[in-house]
């Protein structure tokens, strides 16, 4: 479950760690992580100020999670240790992937061919006939950072599998946009607007973005569908897609997205 490679971690702290801490800016999350000579402290945007301190113990990677005991207490809240859960490991994986991709320049192997990897992704997201049409129309890759995402977004939009709305508008515009996606319409699914109690519970969650995704997915998973937030980066105005959970198909698609630099959460 631990996503951090020991050798990569050692190379990064040896090359970039400083006794007083070196700063690494995570552009996707707009947060700063601290790199020391013996550990890396990952910050998060969670309301409880959750952090993951990563170091080496007994020849392996050790992760220590800390958070505020009750962020509603303001300055009276205390930092406490806490156990890592599945959401923590998923969050740490994303943080680590971006940092290691930028800072670990050794032994990374050949970089993926963008067009080839994009073609694999299209075969995973669409039926064979549609994938072949999309692949034939892939333009020459440019040096622009968001070139891959531009192709994926266009393909998803062209098949009515892309929704866009502000995170904070999820109870209204979000529900409407998700219900308009092709997979829901084909399956006859209509997600109801949440009641005031549900809205309050989601908005109070320490990771309310994942909480709202869970609201949608609790009603989609019975139909083997999953809603994801994805894009070149996360923003207030976010793009979403609904994909089938066809065995390992979704897992493979997410792996390819990671190789192509597309961020996602669900």
Note the pLDDT of residue 247.
Answer: 65
Question: Average pLDDT, stretch 203-230?
Answer: 92
- The string of DSSP letters for 135-183 reads HHTPPPP-S-TTHHHHHHHHHHHHTT--EEEEGGGIIIIIHHHHHTSHH
> Do residues 231 and 263 lie in contact, with contact meaning Cβ atoms separated by under 8 Å?
yes
3-class secondary-structure state, position 38? coil
Who has greater pLDDT, 111 or 26?
Answer: 26
Who has greater pLDDT, 141 or 97?
Answer: 97
Question: Average pLDDT, stretch 182-197?
Answer: 95
Strand pairing partners for 56? 61
To the nearest 10°, report the CA torsion of 136, 141, 144, 146: 40
- Both tokens of residue 204? 């109070």
CA 191 to chain centre: 23
Note the pLDDT of residue 264.
Answer: 85
Element (H, E) at 20: none
What residues have CB less than 8 Å from 156, skipping those under 6 apart?
125, 162, 241
How do residues 16-56 score in pLDDT, each as one tens digit? Answer: 999 889 999 998 888 999 999 899 999 999 988 999 999 99
**pLDDT-derived band of residue 110, with 50, 70 and 90 as boundaries?**
low
| Alpha-carbon distance values, 109 to 26, 62, 196, 265 (Å) | 23, 26, 51, 26
| Strand 39-43 versus strand 51-57 pairing type | antiparallel
Nearest to 175 by CA among 190, 156, 159: 190
Backbone phi, psi, residue 245, to 5°: -95, 65
- Both tokens of residue 154? 């266009």
**pLDDT-derived band of residue 157, with 50, 70 and 90 as boundaries?**
very high
Model confidence at 72: pLDDT above 90: no
Model confidence at 97: pLDDT above 80: yes
Question: Average pLDDT, stretch 79-106?
Answer: 90
Question: Average pLDDT, stretch 209-223?
Answer: 93
For helices 208-220 and 196-204, give the axis angle rounded to 10 degrees.
Answer: 130
Who has greater pLDDT, 140 or 1?
Answer: 140
Model confidence at 57: pLDDT above 60: yes
The position carrying tokens 């979704």 is 250
Model confidence at 71: pLDDT above 90: no
**pLDDT-derived band of residue 107, with 50, 70 and 90 as boundaries?**
very low
pTM: 0.63
**pLDDT-derived band of residue 58, with 50, 70 and 90 as boundaries?**
confident
How do residues 123-134 score in pLDDT, each as one tens digit? Answer: 999 999 999 999
Backbone phi, psi, residue 264, to 5°: -155, 160
- 249/156 Cα distance (integer angstroms): 16
């Amino acid at each position: 479950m631990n996503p951090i490679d020991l050798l990569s971690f050692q190379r990064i702290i040896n090359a970039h760690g400083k006794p007083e801490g070196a700063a690494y800016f995570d552009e996707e999350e707009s947060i700063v992580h601290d790199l020391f000579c013996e550990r890396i402290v990952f910050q998060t945007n969670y309301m409880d100020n959750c952090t993951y301190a990563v170091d080496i113990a007994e020849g392996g990677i050790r992760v220590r999670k800390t958070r505020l005991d009750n962020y509603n207490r303001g300055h009276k809240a205390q930092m406490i240790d806490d156990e890592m859960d599945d959401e923590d490991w998923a969050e740490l994986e994303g943080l680590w992937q971006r940092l290691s991709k930028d800072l670990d320049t050794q032994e990374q192997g050949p970089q993926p061919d963008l067009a080839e990897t994009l073609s694999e992704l299209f075969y995973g997201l669409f039926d064979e006939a549609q994938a072949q049409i999309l692949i034939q129309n892939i333009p020459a890759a440019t040096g622009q950072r968001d070139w891959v995402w531009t192709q994926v977004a266009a393909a998803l939009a062209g098949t009515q599998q892309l929704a866009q709305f502000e995170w904070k508008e999820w109870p209204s515009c979000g529900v409407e946009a998700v219900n308009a996606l092709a997979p829901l319409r084909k399956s006859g699914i209509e997600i109801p607007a949440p009641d005031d109690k549900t809205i309050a519970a989601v908005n109070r969650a320490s990771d309310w973005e994942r909480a709202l995704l869970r609201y949608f997915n609790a009603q989609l998973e019975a139909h083997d569908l999953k809603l994801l937030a994805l894009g070149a980066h996360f923003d207030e105005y976010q793009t979403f897609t609904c994909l089938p959970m066809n065995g390992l198909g979704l897992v493979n698609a997410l792996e390819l997205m990671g190789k192509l630099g597309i961020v996602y959460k669900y």
